[in-house]
Every structure is written in structure tokens, then in C-alpha cells.
Amino acid sequence: MFNLLVVGGSLLGVYVILCLTVLKMPRCKSSAKLHGKTVIVTGSNTGIGKATAMDLAKRGARVILACRDPQRAEAAVNLIKKESGNNQVLYMHLDLASLQSVRSFVENFLKTESRLDILINNAGLATRGKTKDGFGIIFGVNHLGHFLLTVLLLERLKECAPSRVVTVSSDAHKFGKIDFDCINTHKKLGLGDSALALLGLYSDSKLCNVLFTHELAKRLEGTNVTCFSLHPGAIKTEIGRDANLWWKLVLFPITMLFFLDVDSGAQTSLYCALQEGIEHLSGRYFSKCATVDLSAKARDDATARKLWEVSERLCGLA
């Protein structure tokens, strides 16, 4: 019994140390107020996006919750209004799995809103299926939908400069690859739909986010519009809600012990959106509210440019 207590105490001590060091997420310390500013946050009816929208609303911004599910989005709008005391919070329908929905969202937004100061590409998923346009849904939602959304909103962002584009990626991008042959042949990032295959496709899509930001920064030079990609941390979100039961059983204890809350997950998004003096770091990748050096494949100019050109073609922009 004594030995069990010693082992248990040691494990608890290690866990506490991890929580106070490796797992601890720094806070965004910006005191910026956003009265008169307009922000779009995709996927903001839950998780990191909702926590991000809440913080921005508390700072006085006009916050557009760009989401697919009207019922959940309206519930989020009501909660954010109540807790922030800001009535300038509204829902606009956006289904990133449909390029037509992206176009309709942008058309509606440009007609009804005069400003766009910050665009936060937050939504993401890791599930099976295809988009309405026949793309693999992970590729279509995590990259193509956000690519089209950003490109169609660039002129408004330039008009309202200084402005920012923040794209939530993940350290999973380190395991990703870009298979252009598979994209051109199968309209997806890779083949297979097992749990491990989905994790691979998710990693691929997160690499797309980083490369997209890298290329976007080059195209925005001289416009006073800056862009950043980021790792939010290991966060308890609903991204794995469509995983099978066995996979959930494997992940549940890990998630409960080592993953952080969504408020912690929003901090680097907020840092990239609000922190003064980081404009010269446009195109860079952030984690824990600081820049992180990328591997060669994540900052490869030729791959980033080709991904942009392929994405333009697939979205009907070329």
C-alpha cells in the first residue's frame, strides 16, 4: 500500500509540474479596445472560436459569428451578448463545405457591413465525407473554404487597413504533406478514411493553413494588411465529435488530463489579432503567444505558390 501511495504521489507531482510548465498557456496581454471595429470569426458557435468571439465582444468589437448551424449560432450570439454586454454581435450563415455558401456569405457581408478589420479563420474539422463541391471535407473546410473566404474579402480588408487575417492551424502541420497529384486526381489531400488516415488528412490541411499564410503575406506586402497562422495548443474542443466510439474512448482520458480549456486555446488567436508591434512578422507562425520557427516544408515558397494557384483553380477564381 505504501508503495502505491508513493507511486501515486509521484505521478500526481509530475502531472502538477506539467500543468504549471509544459501545458500552461500564456495569456494575451493586449489591452486593445475594438469599438468601431468589425471582426469575423468562423466556427464561433463553440470551442475556441466562441471563446475568441466572447473576448473580442468584451473589447467592444462588432463581431460576426460565421457558422453553419443557425440554432447553435443564435444560442452563442445570445450568450455572448449577455456576458459581454455588447449588442453588436450577430450571426451570418456560412457553410465552409460549400463554395457557393462562401460566396453568398461574402456577398451578404459586403452589402450589409461597411468595415472588416479582423478576419479569424478558426473553423476546422477532422471527419469523413465530401463537401457539396465534391472535395474531401477536411481539405474543403479547413483549407479551400477559408482560402476562398479570405481572397473574396481582401479588398474590404485593404480598405480598412491596418487589418489582419488570423488562421488557426496546428502543430499537427509538422506531420502533414501536400500531394498535388492526389488533389488533382481525387479532389482530396490523401486517401483512406480510417481514424489514423483522418489524422493524417487533418495534418495535411493544417500544413495548407501555414503555407497559405506564408504566400498570403507575400501577396499583401505594402497593403498594411498582415496575416498570421498559429497553434492554439492541445485544447478540449468538439473537433473529434464525429470520431467512432473506440477512438473517443482512447482519446477521452488523454483529453481530460492533458488538454486545456477553450479560453486558453483562444489566447494565441487573440494575440495575433490584437498585439501591437507584430506587423513586421506577417506570414509567421505563432504558438503560446510567440513566434515559432517552421520547418523547410512549411515555408517553402514554391509549394506555397503552387498551393495558392491550385486553390484558385479549384475555387473557380483562376
15 has catalytic annotation? no
Beta bridge partners of 121: 167
User: Which residue reads 490541411 in cell numbers?
Assistant: 205
- Which of 91, 202, 271, 285 is catalytic? The answer is 202
**The pairing of beta strand 290-292 with beta strand 285-287:** antiparallel
CA distances from 25 to 21, 47, 72, 232, 306 (A): 9, 16, 28, 9, 35
By annotation, the residues acting in catalysis are: 202
